[in-house]
Amino acid sequence: MKDAFRRLGSDFLSTIVFLVIYLVTDNVILATSVAILGAIGQVIYVRIKGQELGYMTWASLALVIVLGGATLLTHDPRFVLAKPAIGHVAIGLIMLKRGWMLRYLPPIVTETIPEYVTFAGYAWAALMFVLAAGTVAVAATGDMKLWAIYVSVVLLGAKIAAFAIQYVAFRLLVGSRLRAARA
C-alpha cells in the first residue's frame, strides 16, 4: 500500500508542485516553469539512481513538457490545468480491464463476491472518467482558484468517498454471503 502511494505521488509530482507553487505565489508562469523543471529533474534523479521509470512517469513528463510549454508560450493556464484530466482518463482506461482490482483485495473478497469486484472495477473506471470531465470543465473556465479547490478537494474527496463506500459494501456483502452459506 505504501508503495502504491509512493508511485502515485511520483506520477503526479509535477501537478502537486504546480499547485503548491501557484497557491504560494499566485503566479501561473512561475508555477508552470517550476513544475516542468521539477518533472525533468525527477526523471534525471531516478535515472541516475539506476531505477526504471514506469509508463505513467514518462507520460506525465511528456504531458508536463507539452502542456506546460503551451501554457508558457500562450500565457494561457488552461493547457496545464487539463493535465490531471488526461491522467484520469488513462487510469480509467486501465480500470476498464476486467479483474484489475483482484490483486488489491483480500482473498475472502475475491472468492466470496467476485461479481461485485468486477462491477466495482468498472465503477472506479466510470468515476475516473467523470472526474476527468469535471477537470476539463473547471480548467476551461481558466479560474485558478476553482481549479485548485477542485483538484485538491473534489478529486481527492471523491476517491476517498468511493473507497469508503466500496469498503462498507464489500464488508456487508461478504458477511451476508458467509451467513447465507452457513445457513
The answer to whether 68 and 35 are in contact (CB under 8 A) is yes
pLDDT given for residue 17 in this prediction: 84
pLDDT given for residue 148 in this prediction: 85
Locate the domains of the chain by residue range.
Answer: 1-76, 82-183
- Rounded to 5 degrees, φ, ψ at 23 are -65, -35
Instruction: Place 2 in a pLDDT band, splitting at 50, 70 and 90.
Output: low
Distance CA 57, CA 13 (A): 9
57-113 pLDDT, tens per residue?
A: 777 788 889 989 998 999 888 888 888 898 899 889 989 998 888 888 889 999 999
124-160 pLDDT, tens per residue?
A: 999 999 999 999 999 998 888 898 889 889 998 999 9
13-24 pLDDT, tens per residue?
A: 777 888 889 889
Is the model's pLDDT at 170 over the cut of 80? yes
18-44 pLDDT, tens per residue?
A: 888 988 998 989 999 998 999 899 889
Q: What is the 3-state secondary structure (H, E, C) of the chain?
A: CHHHHHHHHHHCHHHHHHHHHHHHHCCHHHHHHHHHHHHHHHHHHHHHCCCCCCHHHHHHHHHHHHHHHHHHHHCCCHHHHCHHHHHHHHHHHHHCCCCCCHHHCCHHHHHHCHHHHHHHHHHHHHHHHHHHHHHHHHHHHCCHHHHHHHHHHHHHHHHHHHHHHHHHHHHHHHHHHHHHHHC
Q: Which residue has the cell 503548491?
A: 20
